[in-house]
Amino acid sequence: AYEISCVTGVQTCALSDLQILHLLAAVLGYSHSLSSSYFVKTDSHAISKRQAPGGDNIRITKLHVRSEIQFRYARTTVESYIKNFGSVTETTQFQAILPENAFVSNFSMIVGETEYVAEVKSKDEAKAEFDSQVEDGLGAGLVEQDARDANLFKIRTSIEPTEKVIFRLTYDELLERSLGLYEHTIHVQPGQIVDDFKIIVNINESLPITSLNVLELEKENEISPSSKTSSIATVTRDEEDNSKGSIVYKISKKYQKDAGKKGIQGAFKVQYDVDRTNQTNEVQVIDGYFVHFFTPENLKVLPKHIIFVLDISGSMGGEKLQQLKDA
C-alpha cells in the first residue's frame, strides 16, 4: 500500500496499486489504456465504467453456412466474419460442432485480401507457435480437437484492433440412410446474435428426389427429436430436374433473440430420399473414390439381443429415479 496526502493536506489513506493507477488516471484524465472492469469514484472525479477487453469488442457480423450435397455426399463450408471493434489485440474462440461421421478437409483465415491456409502440426508445436504470435500482437488461429468429444472443434484466434477476419471451415461427410431417409445435420451455436445469418443447402442427386423435408431447430439436449417442419426454411424443387432441390434458412435477428440472449443453439436437419424403383443397389464414382449403395427391400427382420441398463447413481436422485421405477 502507498500513503498519499488528501486535498486538505492533513489526512492520509492507504491505497492499493490498482487504486493508485485509477486515481492517477482521474487526475490526468487518461483512462483508455487501463484494462480493469471499472474505475473508482473519488470526491472530485467520477470516472465512467469501462468494459475490459474481450467484452463486446469481438462480434460475429456475418455467419454463412453452405452445404453442397451431391449423390448423398455432403461438403459443408462455414464462413464466420468476426470483427474486433476494440483498440487492442484480443483473442476469441469459435466452436464448430461437426456431424459424427464428418471430417475436416480445410481451415483457413482471411485477413484483408490474403488467405492463410492452416498447416497440420503436432499439438505442442502448434500451441507454442500460436502463443508466440499472440504475444507479438499478431493475428493467428489455432484449431483444436477435443479428445473426449471428437466432433467438437475449437478455433482460437487473435484479432488486431479494428480488423475484420474471415474464418472458413470446410468438412465432408457421406450421408447414411436410416429409417428410409437420408439426413443432413448442421449444428449452429454462434453464442451471440448475428446480424447476417444464413444457411443454404443444395441437393443434386443421380435419382429423382421423392421426399424432401426440413425440420424445426432441434436443441442439442432434446431427448425426443423434432418432427415439425421448419417455419423459416424456404424449400425449392427444380421444376425441370426432379433430382435437384435447395433449402435456404435466412435467420432474422428477431428469430435469434426469441431463442435467448446468446441466439440460437441447436441442429438444423434436412431429410430426403430418392426414387430407387427396381434398383436395389447403385455405384457412384467421384474423384477416384467409389461408394456402393445397397437398399434391398422386404428383408426378414433380424433377431435382436437387447440389453437394458438401469442407472441408479446419485445423479438420478429424485424425480428421474422415480420415473425410471415407473417405466
Q: Each residue of 96-114: pLDDT tens digit?
A: 888 888 888 888 888 777 8
d(CA 22, CA 234): 55
What percent of the chain is predicted at pLDDT more than 70?
74
Closest CA to 79 of 121, 110, 123, 125: 110
Range ranked top by mean pLDDT from 1-15, 60-74, 206-220: 60-74
End-to-end CA distance of the chain: 65
Average pLDDT, the chain: 76
Closest CA to 195 of 75, 327, 70, 60: 60
Pairing relation of β-strands 58-70 and 196-204? Answer: parallel
Q: In what order do the strands lie in the sheet with 90-97?
A: 90-97, 152-159, 140-145
Q: Where is pLDDT greater, at 182 or 56?
A: 182
Of 4-18, 27-41, 298-312, least confident by mean pLDDT is: 27-41
Q: Is residue 165 within 8 Å of residue 109, measured between CB atoms?
A: yes
- ∠73-75-76 over CA atoms, to 5°? 140
pLDDT for residue 162: 84
Helix/strand/coil for 276:
coil
Residue 49 has pLDDT above 70, yes or no: no
Q: Where is pLDDT greater, at 23 or 185?
A: 185
Q: Where is pLDDT greater, at 5 or 29?
A: 29
pTM for the structure as a whole: 0.66
Residue 71 has pLDDT above 60, yes or no: yes
Q: Is residue 230 within 8 Å of residue 214, measured between CB atoms?
A: yes
d(CA 49, CA 47): 7
What is the rounded average pLDDT of the residues 283-309?
Answer: 84
- ∠184-185-187 over CA atoms, to 5°? 160
Of 71-80, 151-160, 194-203, 311-320, least confident by mean pLDDT is: 151-160
